Structure 1
Amino acid sequence: MDTQVVCRFLVLILTFFISTPSDAQNFDYADPEIYHSLYTECPKGCICPSQFPRALYCDNKGLKEVPVIPSRIWYLYLHNNEIDSLKEKSFANATEIKWINLSKNKISSKNIEKNVLKKFKNLLYLLLEENDLDGVPAPLPDGLEQLRLARNKISKIPEGVFSKLENLTLLDLHNNKLTDGSFQADAFAGLKNLVQLNVARNSLKKMPTGLPANTVQLYLDNNNIEEIPKNYFKEVPKIAFLRLNYNKLADAGIPENVFNITSMLDLQLSYNELKNMPVVNGHLERLHLDHNKIKNINGSLICPNDVKEEFDPHFPQGPRLRYLRLEGNEMKPPIPLDIMICFRLLRTVVI
């Protein structure tokens, strides 16, 4: 896998564990203006911890609107309130914000003033999950790296809405009201560095098209997808993690070698209607096929390389599959011997 892609993927993982950075060492408490800001400009009911002077905690306060945010703030937490609008006056002086969490509020698209988000030139992370949005807020700041819009009412992705977000690595749109017709032409244009796209729990019947070429993680669980186009993954040659659990995929909807791609490491097809194990590539490490309609598996037919060969220069120890889930199918133990002969690195098999 491309080194730059790996680095971006590692950054994505690390952000799940990041808390507010300790920037106290860069804060000059001797400056009377800063001291005044820290102790007198803290919005009523919010928390302005001295150990994290650039963070403002206004979460879980029952707020109905965003208070006036002090200019020193970089990290703003406003989740789990009753805020229904975003107005420029609240952020008039707060131009250095890097992180905003506005999840679990009542914000609607029509109540977001047009340029209120665009002004945040340093904004990297924007969380607007579980609100009342029916569209992607726009315009957005060009430097944004993560945009989380899950659990809203978004039904359309207009053309060009992401066109300037070249730094975006994560786009989360799961649990909205997206259909096959929701994606306008070139809806994802401009997302040159996107690593993770999550459109799970929508109403898609087809695989989304026009995906960014650098996509590594694609989550499509809990849709109504019935088939995958033959050459679909040619447009995403770096795809490594694919989740298609809880769809309507049957054997007829899966071309013979559609998953036979060297970049794929983790493939999840649980809770579909498959009767046969699809052909996979020797690089695949984890495969979820539980809760389908599989009765038996012919290992010699689906083995990535000829099991009769004693040595394959690409797979000196055999295919790399280490984890296989088969429970909830129509087959019973034991595991077929030819499966174990082919996938010699298998460490966990659930049946």
Structure 2
Amino acid sequence: MKHAVLFCLILLIIFQTDCERSEHGTGKQRRRIHQRRLRKSSSLHHRANKQLGNQQTAAAAEATLPITNSDYSVEENLESLLSPLGVESSYNVLPGKKGHCFVKGMIMYNNAVWSPEPCITCLCSNGRVLCDETVCHPKTCPYTIKPEGECCPICSDAVSYSLLSGRTLNDKTEFSGDSSEQREFTNMLHKQVKPPQMEMDQVVIKEALQSKEEEEDIKEHMEHKKETSVPTTLHSDEERVEGKLRPEEERRSARQPLYHGRGEEEDDDEESEGEREKEEEDAIRGDVFRMSPRLMPGTPRGRPRLPGSCALSYKTISCIHAAFTQIPPITAPEVTSLELAGNSIISIPDEAFNGLPNLERLDLSRNNITSSGIGPKAFKVLKKLMRLNMDGNNLVHIPSELPSTLEELKINDNNLQAIDEESLSDLNQLVTLELEGNNLSEINVNPLAFKSLKSLSYLRLGKNKFRIIPQGLPASIEELYLENNQIEEITEICFNHTRKINMIVLRYNKIEENRIAPLAWINQENLESIDLSYNKLYHVPSYLPKSLLHLVLIGNQIERIPGYVFGHMEPGLEYLYLSFNRLSDDGVNLVSFYGAYHSLRELFLDHNDLKSIPPGIQEMKALHFLRLNNNKIRNILPEQICNVEEDEDSALEHLHLENNYIKTREISSYAFSCIRLYSSIVLKPQKIK
């Protein structure tokens, strides 16, 4: 009989080893096939983009060019081209933050590394998100287990498996955190080999361990058992079924905590059943802040007990749309991210986060939190907090005593009434500040409010009530968003101290070209992008920054492009968007684009009143994308787009001429002779007289 059992064990070991090797080989092959499919699909996607006439294809041809985020992008290209006539597009064409990635509502800075899921690591590399999954080396041992929080399994045997799981092998209750495969494997082991009825100490001494780590674990367990003098016995399935366990052992097994930390003390004998049940009930109630002693800081590490509507994923606790009215009391020192968005929380007491001292990210958006409901020391315990999101609450002022470690603060869509000098005084590491959708203006924002923000580079103040550019902007600012305000003028002193500013968004304001001071931004050396869409401009503004690359003037009443308005720019304007204006043939001449002929890559003149192709198009040697659709153009002469005297191919990859009055049959065969791919020319449909 003994030989038969030994033979079965050997066969089981060989079978397990072969399975792991084949799974590893299959995994490698699957990854290679997946990567080939990705490359193939990206190649096909790229070809499709060229045929759809996407402006992004041209912009992405060279890595040194800024990437634009247009409504004519890859994902929305067909939808925008097939939209009803005369419907204005939002034309969000300014580039994003240079080198930064946008992931699930969060901005990841260049070279940032994070783990969205267990065993997956992502890197932000120049605007691209690169993710890699941890590859585990195959194990040759007969039994493996996957410890909590680890990516790869480790070698183990039946005894150490029971020790690490905190249960006996014969316990039919589910192992916490174990997979169904592990449970099936354990059950199969029970059927083949019945463990002898002896003390755990004797079993450990006789069993051969697979690694030094497991030896240390067993020694610690044995020492702990000697100190507590509580024997642990392995029992067979038959004994448990037949009821041979002693009553005190049954009670001890039933009282055993679901999760064990290493070296946890047995204090159950000191508590009554009633007290223990009350503590466990308090630990999961959403409106009580008293915590069980086992969940208080200082207890051994283990899987935290969570309310039923919360989930734990690696180091993130998610309680989204859980109908909480208070912050749930959770003790989990290992957790770094807490999501409480979409609840009905109205207050944050001082002790709310005592059990989460290592939080780095906290999402409290879309609740009913009021300023009066936040305790003065509510955030004081969070010494490592870097990102705080309080969008969509009822705050009237910025919470006090925020952690100085904050790098990102979002308080959009609240009811902020003022920002004084002390509101942001301790946040010298803050990089991103978003305060959109509040009641802020130059009257209630102190000019010294941003003084201490030495690291701030990204500031959003849209959807407020500013009539001028806010004063006292930090010198470190790189991107400024002031859309949907009531700004009427741009004075000479607005950007005196912001020498690093790279992008300014002023969409949907009330700015006229004669209210822009000549020295407002002309000497800026790093200002590359300006969005003045949907203002009150009648001419393209003069005195634009020398360093400007992107200029967005969509949805104004522009009738004319003054001569030499781009002549002073170096290295030269690359992207000019004038869609949905009132440009006519009289408002555009040969000198209108002077200074940009060598640099323009994208020119949008659609939805205007042009009756012919503007002069100078054939001189734009770098032009990749030209929009002239939805005008009143009637004919196309051979020399208007292509220079007949030159044999060089044009750089044009996308040309839109649809929805004009062009008779396509009358177009000269030489009109598009310089364009390499006729598929990039869109001529249909045309309007009927």
For the residues of structure 1 that align with 2:302 and 2:603, how far apart are their CA atoms? 56
2:537 pairs with 274, 292, 302, which one? 274
Task: Give the SS at the match of 2:372.
Answer: helix
Identical amino acids, percent of aligned pairs: 28
The verdict on how the C-alpha distance between 1:40 and 1:200 changes in structure 2, with shifts beyond 3 A counting, is: closer
Q: Which amino acid aligns with 1:275?
A: Y
Give the aligned partner of residue 323 of structure 1. 575
- Structure 1 12/285 Cα, relative in aligned 2: closer, same or farther at 3 Å? same
SS in 2 for 1:93: coil
* Alpha-carbon distance, 1:22 to partner: 4.9
Q: How does 1:249-288 map to 2 (within 5 A)?
A: 249-260=511-522, 261-278=524-541, 279-288=543-552
Please say if 1:342 is aligned against 2:595: yes
Answer yes or no: is 1:42 the counterpart of 2:299: no
Deviation string 1:292-344 (CA, Å, 9 cap, x unpaired) is 22211123244215xxxxxxxxx4xxx43111111222213696432444212
Q: Residue 292 of structure 1 aligns to which amino acid in structure 2?
A: N
- Alpha carbons of structure 1 residues 12 and 237: separation in structure 2 relative to 1, 3 Å: farther
RMSD: 2.6
In structure 2, C-alpha distance between the alignment counterparts of 1:110 and 1:210, rounded to whole Å: 28
Inter-partner Cα distance in structure 2 for 1:325 and 1:263: 20
Secondary structure at 1:182's aligned position in 2? coil
Q: How many angstroms does 1:65 deviate by?
A: 1.2
Residue range with higher mean Cα deviation, 212-221 or 252-261: 252-261
The equivalences for 1:21-170 within 5 A come to 21-22=116-117, 32-33=260-261, 39=303, 41-49=305-313, 52=314, 54-71=315-332, 72-170=334-432
Given the superposition, is the C-alpha separation of residues 41 and 326 from structure 1 closer, same or farther in structure 2, using an over 3 Å criterion?
A: same
Partners of 2:304 and 2:572 lie apart in 1 by 60
- Structure-2 change in CA distance of 1:19 and 1:60 (3 Å): farther
Deviation at 1:86, TM superposition (A): 0.9
Contact preservation (8 Å) 1:177, 1:203 = yes
Task: Name the CA distance, whole Å, in 1 between partners of 2:554 and 2:149.
Answer: 57
**Residue equivalent to 2:141:** none
* Paired residue secondary structure (1:110): coil
Mapped pair 1:171 → 2:433: yes
Q: Could you state the TM-score of these two structures normalised by the residue count of structure 1? A: 0.86
**For 1:28 and 1:251, how far apart are their aligned partners in 2?**
59
Shift of 1:188: 1.0
Q: Deviations over 1:147-182 (max 9, x none)?
A: 000000001002121111111000000111112211
User: How many angstroms apart in 1 are the aligned matches of 2:460 and 2:565?
Assistant: 33
If asked which structure has higher relative contact order (CA below 8 Å, sep 6+), I would say: 1
Are the aligned partners of 2:353 and 2:382 in contact in 1 as well (CA < 8 Å)? no
Amino acid at match of 2:584: K
Instruction: Assess if the C-alpha contact under 8 Å between 1:84 and 1:106 holds in 2.
Output: yes
CA deviation map 1:17-45 (0-9, x unaligned): 68754567997675932898654512332
**What is the CA–CA distance in structure 2 between the aligned matches of 1:204 and 1:23, rounded to whole Å?**
44
Change (3 A) 1:331 1:40: closer
Residues 40 and 256 of structure 1, relative CA distance in 2, 3 Å threshold:
closer
Gaps of 5+ in 2: 1-96, 120-133, 135-146, 151-163, 165-258, 265-299, 606-689
Map Cα deviations across residues 232-291 of structure 1 (whole Å, 9 max, x no partner).
Answer: 211111111000111111123101242312211110001111122222234211101122
The answer on whether the counterparts of 1:219 and 1:243 sit within 8 Å (CA) in structure 2 is yes
- Taking a change above 3 Å as real, the CA distance of residues 185 and 245 of structure 1, as seen in their structure-2 partners, is closer
Partner amino acid for 2:529? Answer: D
- How far apart are 1:9 and its partner, in Å? 6.3
Q: 1:12 to 1:180 in 2, by over 3 A?
A: farther
Q: CA deviation at 1:16?
A: 2.7
Aligned CA distance change for structure 1 residues 243 and 84 (closer, same or farther; 3 Å): same
Residue of structure 1 in register with 2:477 after alignment: 215
Asked whether the equivalents of residues 9 and 195 of structure 1 are also in contact (C-alpha less than 8 Å), the reply is: no
Write the distance in 2 (CA, Å) between the matches of 1:127 and 1:40: 23
Q: Distance in 1 between matches of 2:101 and 2:452?
A: 19
What's the CA shift string for 1:110-162, capped at 9, x where partnerless? 00111111221100000000001111011100010000000000010021211
Is the helix fraction higher in 1 or 2? 2
CA distance in 1, matches of 2:379, 2:304: 26
| Alignment check: 8 A CA contact 1:12 1:170 kept | no
Q: Secondary structure at the match of 1:252?
A: helix
Matched letter for residue 579 of structure 2: E
Change over 3 Å in CA distance of 1:37–1:336 after alignment to 2: farther
Asked whether the 8 Å contact 1:85–1:111 carries over to 2, the reply is: yes
CA contact 1:109–1:133 (8 Å) conserved in 2: yes
**Secondary structure at 1:48 match in 2:** strand
Structure 1: gaps spanning 5 or more residues = 1-7, 306-314
CA distance in 2, matches of 1:223, 1:214: 23
